[in-house]
Amino acid sequence: MASVITKLLFFLFLWYSLICLASSVRDDYFISNQDLDMVNSEKEVSELFQAWKQKWEREYQTLEEETTRFETFKSNLEYIKERNAKIKSSSDYSLGLNQFSDTSYEEFSKIYLLKTTNSIIKSDLVGTEMSNITVSCPNATSSLDWRLSGAVTNVKNQGACGSCWAFSATGAIEGINQVVSQWLPNLSEQQLISCDKNNSGCEGGIHFEALQYVLKNGGIATERDYPYKASNGVCNCTLETNNKFATIDGYNYWWNSPIPEVSLFCAVAKQPISVSFFADRDFMSYKSGIFDGANFTSGGSCGHNHAMLIVGYGSLGADNDYWILKNSWGTSWGQCGYVFIKRNTGLAHGVNNINCAGSYPTKQIK
Kindly name the residue from 98, 236, 243, 327 that is annotated as catalytic. 327
Q: Is 233 helix (H, G, I), strand (E, B) or coil?
A: coil
What does the alpha-carbon distance between residue 199 and residue 208 come to, in Å, rounded to a whole number? 10
What does the alpha-carbon distance between residue 168 and residue 178 come to, in Å, rounded to a whole number? 16
CA distances from 155 to 170, 206, 237 (A): 12, 20, 27
- Helices 164-181, 207-217: axis angle to 10 degrees equals 60
Active site residue 349: no
Decide: 52 and 97 in contact? Cβ < 8 Å: yes
What does the alpha-carbon distance between residue 184 and residue 246 come to, in Å, rounded to a whole number? 10
Active site residue 243: no
What does the alpha-carbon distance between residue 263 and residue 133 come to, in Å, rounded to a whole number? 8
- Using DSSP, how many helices (H) and how many strands (E) does the chain show? 11, 11
CA distances from 43 to 38, 46, 54, 190 (A): 12, 5, 17, 43
User: Shortest CA distance to 248 belongs to which of 178, 352, 299, 147?
Assistant: 178
Kindly name the residue from 207, 304, 306, 349 that is annotated as catalytic. 306
Active-site positions read: 306, 327
